[in-house]
Amino acid sequence: MKSLLSCLWLLVCSVQLLFSQSRKPVSADPVARYDAYVQQAVNDWKVPGLTVTVVKGGKVLLKKGYGVREVGKADAVNTQTLFAMASTTKAMTAACLGMLVDEGKLRWDDPVTDYLPDFQLYDPAVTRELRVRDLLIHNTGVGNADFLWASMQISSDEILRRIRLVKPTYSFRSSFIYQNIMYLAAGKVVEKVSGMPWERFMRTRIFEPLGMRRTQALFREVTDLNRAKPHVEISDTIRVMNSPTEEGLVDAIGPAGSVWSCPDDLTAWMQCMIDSGRYDGKRLLKPITWAELFKPQTIVTDAQFYPTQQLTHPSWKTYGLGWFQHDYRGQRVNFHTGSLTGMVAIHGQLPSHKLAVYVQSNLDHAELRHALMYRAFDEFALGVNHDWSAEFRQLYGGFRQQAKTAERRVDSARVMNTKPTLPITAYIGSYADPLYGKVEVTMQEGKLRLSLNSVLTGRLDHWHYDTFRLTYDQFWNGADPVTFSLDAQGKVAKLRWGGAELMKVPDSGGKGVAER
């Protein structure tokens, strides 16, 4: 029996020795552990470039760049590499309004029309009741209207003029649908009250006091070569987007998401926002106004929250003034993501521990941003070892498979061996709508082509009946169906694209239809 026990003991010791030799050593330093975790996540998610910044209690725990600014090139991401802040800009715009509240120049519950008398929504009653606060909390009843800047090149003022044509999706203050255009209106309120454009107010009241020397409010101001390029994944291949026009379109709604920044600058903004509006002896906001930014203002529905809720299981979800909020392991989290085509960001706070994390990446919807935020909370505050990166990769991988299945389902619904009702040349012409702008359908080398507001272009291939498939020249947009409708005389009368319906412009007398 003793001999058998001795053999078993030797076997256990041998297995332990083998396991310890094959396993990478785990650092006792939480910063080193987290750094290694980030590096592994970057590799696992195949992200070209990324930055992570972590601050706690007034100290910078980590500020580092990973990967490259552009695939196929050796230029490494560092702490001065500029990335799009995208919608994390919204917290800055809310802070700008807060400064004006501090100065007594406006109140959160002032009518918007006190400052923007020409601003109108579809329902005049809602226009009358709309308050400055409402511009920041996605409760106006207006659904997503991003086509007003993402598919046309019109001025900020024209965007706000056209918003009156957008029919409400739900009744005023009864629900929550994330909305960018209202933040543009908030920026216009800043301009009206302060007497300076939103971007200049940002620079003089936030960037300069906090020493954010590299940060730019608008994409057109980003001329530094040390900037990340946007990337998208197409058919399992990471491709760079070389489209300045695409990136620059966001300037039209700058207050909603046009700021570009880097870790060296963001540390100041993060510390200011986690410490009651103070930084390095300066105070941007009064404590009461800073607290108002983070006060829950409206309930966020499950449908409008992030898929991560399937794994983190929050009990409640709210939105403050430029911040999402929810509970995590019994703690309140304030956070906001930012997403532009090819770029992502996330700014998260665990206020009970004065901990903040900011992640930037140059890959479209790289959702490791969520994993790195929660992992930072676990590592630097909550003492938990949880592999969110692996779990979120599985979660979002499932979504990708679902999308591929849905695409195959659409393809299988195609009715084969059909023809357009009319000769192909009958579909050529101009189509217009006061809200959506103008579509030009032309013929090039025997193929139909479409141009939407000279921004989105592509080839139209017959699909079935009078439906064509639009394959975008801007490859990251993929493809969409375009359907033509005939009138009672059998002539082409309408074009439907992406939920929009545009009327065909007569060959004569049709000028100005889009301007009604």
Are the C-beta atoms of 90 and 184 separated by less than 8 Å? no
Predicted confidence at residue 15, as pLDDT, reads 38
Two structure tokens written together for 4? 């058998």
CATH number belonging to the domain at 30-404, selected among 2.40.50.140, 3.90.1150.10, 3.40.710.10, 3.40.50.300: 3.40.710.10
Are the C-beta atoms of 50 and 38 separated by less than 8 Å? yes
Mark residue 488 as left, alpha or beta (left: phi above 0; alpha: psi -120 to 50; beta: remaining): alpha
Predicted confidence at residue 9, as pLDDT, reads 42
State the chain's mean pLDDT as an integer: 92
For 46-78, write each residue's pLDDT tens digit.
999 999 999 999 999 999 999 999 999 999 999
For 130-179, write each residue's pLDDT tens digit.
999 999 999 999 999 999 999 999 999 999 999 999 999 999 999 999 99
Domain ranges within the chain, ordered by starting residue: 30-404, 424-506
For 117-133, write each residue's pLDDT tens digit.
999 999 999 999 999 99
Query: Would you give the DSSP letter of residue 112?
Result: G
Give the mean model confidence (pLDDT) for residues 21-35. 73
CATH number of 424-506: 2.40.128.50
What is the model's pTM?
0.91
Q: Mapping DSSP to helix (H, G, I), strand (E, B) and coil, where does residue 219 land?
A: helix
For 173-218, write each residue's pLDDT tens digit.
999 999 999 999 999 999 999 999 999 999 999 999 999 999 999 9
Asked if residue 319 has pLDDT above 50, the reply is yes
Please indicate whether the domains covering 30-404 and 424-506 agree at the CATH topology level: no
pLDDT band of residue 365 (cuts 50, 70, 90) is very high
pLDDT band of residue 28 (cuts 50, 70, 90) is confident
**Helix, strand and coil percent figures for the chain, each rounded to 5:** 40, 25, 35
Are the C-beta atoms of 332 and 352 separated by less than 8 Å? yes
CA dist., res. 98 & res. 285, Å (int): 7
CA dist., res. 190 & res. 188, Å (int): 5
**Residue type for position 106:** L
For 388-446, write each residue's pLDDT tens digit.
999 999 999 999 999 999 999 999 999 999 999 999 999 999 999 999 999 999 999 99
For 260-300, write each residue's pLDDT tens digit.
999 999 999 999 999 999 998 889 999 999 999 999 999 99
CA dist., res. 24 & res. 16, Å (int): 14
